[in-house]
Amino acid sequence: MMKIQNQTNSTYSPGMPVKGIRGQILSFHDDPFLKEPHECYDYIDDGLIVIQNGHIIDSGEYQDTVCKYPDITDLDVYDDALIVPGFIDCHVHYVQSPMIGSFGDTLLDWLKQYTFPTESMFVDKGFADEVAREFFKQLLEHGTTTANVFATTFETSVDAFFEESERYDTRMISGKVLQDRNLPDSLKDRSAEESVVLAERLLKKWHRRGRQLYAVIPRFAPTSTPQQLRLAGELYQRYIDQDVYMHTHLDEAQSEIDWVKELYPDQSNYTEVYRSFGLVDKRSVMAHCCIVTDEEWDTLHRCDCGVAHCPSSNLFLGDGMFRYWEAKKRSRPVRLGIGTDVGGGTNFSIPRQLGDAYKVAMLQSRSIDALKSLYLATRGGAETLHLEDKIGSIAPGYEADIAVIDLKPSEFIVWRMNFAGDIFEKLFVLMTLGPDNINRATYVSGRKVYDRDREKRYMYAAELDAVIQI
Ligand SMILES: [Zn+2]
């Protein structure tokens, strides 16, 4: 088929089905923590996104754009809504969905009492399938289209997750959790060697299969023997140039940091423990990072790591509070996104996490505005996962993963919005007052996999393809 280049340098195939989404559009192309904030985004009051073969091929003012695509077969129009890139959750445990909202005392007690017994149940594939199904429904209902996800020890937990992701064609990152000490026997790897062999087998099975990506995941330093961390580091280094990730927890709570110091007295800090095993590198994503020394920030910056700020978890577990101004210090910034950390976090909604991020900052006499917050939830998350050339923005060439935020989700907010000015004031109202779900529809690879107003709210890719070819 003949292909032509349109004005925005994206490939358009005339004659193939073209989908359009019309409404207010907001998307970031740069980092407002490091550049002039108002030069970092594009906002269009009446815009059109044009999608073909799962990718955005054009976006711009509706009137200027629509005339270029006379063969748009399918147009969704959203009034009183804001169309944004799908949200990105940079740190979440899908296996903790069944125990979200459990009473906690300290982090380590909470793990022992609720987390470990729940994760032990994933040895049963049927249970893992059921939780994966529910987890994806929660993500998509809240407009999250990509997540960086902990499974748990068992092969079943990884297979169940990726199988469900394939059904929606979501771009997801996950992997087997490596943990061979300081856990109940029901959850512990039998040996460091065996665990890393299994991780490599799963990596070969799932990495780059469709949109799926694999991460090497030591739970955190105290639950792996030095031998397991060494083998995990070697596995990561063998595949790092094939875009495999390393994902773990770092510097969440003082009690955890003290424990790491006891286990590794010769290392100068917690980050050095991971680094000494080859685990701190250009595709490493560290969750939490609440209590971080200057030396550690320097290392994370130098190694081009991503960091996941998990504000709802900070408030719920009470272990530490993230300092974004340290993470984004201009002399040594790191890639930064938002994580729900379910079940340490108490909801699956990235917009609600942003409301909590404001509170975490205010408790430390700082603030964070809606502009920077929305960047962290979209483009910042993509940068954290080194996927900023594929997802996190609405622009030609990007994968068509899109959320549609309801600007009038309740009667009171309709009234309250009368007193809000620009789009960022409205967003701040939603982040702060919005109900649990302010998302109307979620598109993944251009397919509307979730629609709040459709009789069948969630639909797999194959079901949608049977209705219309995109
Ligand atoms: Zn976590």
Confirm if 140 and 458 have CB atoms less than 8 A apart: yes
Alpha carbon of 215 to ligand 1 centroid (Å): 14
Alpha carbon of 279 to ligand 1 centroid (Å): 17
Please tell me the predicted confidence (pLDDT) of residue 230: 98
Confirm if 443 and 449 have CB atoms less than 8 A apart: yes
Q: How many CA atoms lie within 13 A of 337 on its CB side?
A: 31
- pLDDT tens per residue, range 214-269: 999 999 999 999 999 999 999 999 999 999 999 999 999 999 999 999 999 999 99
Provide the β-strand partners of residue 461.
Answer: none
DSSP state at residue 101: T
Alpha carbon of 150 to ligand 1 centroid (Å): 8
Alpha carbon of 404 to ligand 1 centroid (Å): 27
Alpha carbon of 100 to ligand 1 centroid (Å): 12
Alpha carbon of 339 to ligand 1 centroid (Å): 9
Alpha carbon of 102 to ligand 1 centroid (Å): 15
Alpha carbon of 416 to ligand 1 centroid (Å): 35
CA-based Rg of the chain, rounded to a whole angstrom?
22
Please tell me the predicted confidence (pLDDT) of residue 1: 31
Output the average pLDDT for the chain.
Answer: 95
Alpha carbon of 286 to ligand 1 centroid (Å): 10
Alpha carbon of 86 to ligand 1 centroid (Å): 21
Alpha carbon of 469 to ligand 1 centroid (Å): 38
Domain spans of the chain, in order of start = 4-86+393-467, 87-384
Alpha carbon of 108 to ligand 1 centroid (Å): 12
Q: What's the token pair of residue 260?
A: 């790491």
Alpha carbon of 249 to ligand 1 centroid (Å): 6
pLDDT class of 467 with cuts at 50, 70, 90: confident
Alpha carbon of 180 to ligand 1 centroid (Å): 17
Please tell me the predicted confidence (pLDDT) of residue 10: 61
Cβ contacts of 387 within 8 Å, gap of 6 or more = 146, 171
Phi then psi dihedrals of residue 25, to 5 deg: -125, 135
Please tell me the predicted confidence (pLDDT) of residue 7: 40
Alpha carbon of 8 to ligand 1 centroid (Å): 40
Please tell me the predicted confidence (pLDDT) of residue 24: 98
Alpha carbon of 19 to ligand 1 centroid (Å): 37
Alpha carbon of 95 to ligand 1 centroid (Å): 11
Residue type, 197: V
Phi then psi dihedrals of residue 175, to 5 deg: 175, 170
Q: Is the pLDDT of residue 176 over 60?
A: yes
Q: Is the pLDDT of residue 182 over 50?
A: yes
Confirm if 162 and 207 have CB atoms less than 8 A apart: no
- pLDDT tens per residue, range 360-379: 999 999 999 999 999 999 99
Q: Is the pLDDT of residue 310 over 90?
A: yes
Alpha carbon of 107 to ligand 1 centroid (Å): 10
Angle formed at CA 194 by CA 192 and CA 200, multiple of 5 degrees: 100
10 or 25, higher pLDDT:
25
Alpha carbon of 304 to ligand 1 centroid (Å): 21
Alpha carbon of 431 to ligand 1 centroid (Å): 23
Same fold flag, 4-86+393-467 and 87-384: no
DSSP state at residue 142: T
Alpha carbon of 93 to ligand 1 centroid (Å): 6
Confirm if 101 and 47 have CB atoms less than 8 A apart: no
Please tell me the predicted confidence (pLDDT) of residue 370: 97
Alpha carbon of 301 to ligand 1 centroid (Å): 21
CATH class for the region spanning 4-86+393-467:
mainly beta
How many Å apart are CA 113 and CA 117, to the nearest integer? 7
Alpha carbon of 211 to ligand 1 centroid (Å): 23
Which of 70, 176, 44, 50 has its CA nearest to residue 122?
Answer: 176
Alpha carbon of 92 to ligand 1 centroid (Å): 6
Angle formed at CA 58 by CA 54 and CA 59, multiple of 5 degrees: 115
Alpha carbon of 205 to ligand 1 centroid (Å): 25
Alpha carbon of 445 to ligand 1 centroid (Å): 28
Alpha carbon of 303 to ligand 1 centroid (Å): 21
Alpha carbon of 341 to ligand 1 centroid (Å): 5
Which of 251, 306, 303 has its CA nearest to residue 278?
Answer: 303
Q: Is the pLDDT of residue 470 over 50?
A: no
Alpha carbon of 204 to ligand 1 centroid (Å): 25
The CATH classification number of 87-384 equals 3.20.20.140
Please tell me the predicted confidence (pLDDT) of residue 198: 98
Alpha carbon of 288 to ligand 1 centroid (Å): 8
Please tell me the predicted confidence (pLDDT) of residue 468: 66
- pLDDT tens per residue, range 381-438: 999 999 999 999 999 999 999 999 999 999 999 999 999 999 999 999 999 997 877 9
Q: Is the pLDDT of residue 127 over 70?
A: yes
Q: State the virtual CA torsion across 394, 396, 401, 403 in degrees, nearest 10.
A: 30
Residue type, 1: M
| Chain center to CA of 46 | 28
Q: In angstroms, what CA-CA distances link 304 with 82, 361, 384?
A: 32, 24, 9
Note if the pTM is more than 0.75.
yes
Please tell me the predicted confidence (pLDDT) of residue 3: 35
Alpha carbon of 381 to ligand 1 centroid (Å): 16
Alpha carbon of 344 to ligand 1 centroid (Å): 7
Alpha carbon of 189 to ligand 1 centroid (Å): 19
How many Å apart are CA 6 and CA 260, to the nearest integer? 55
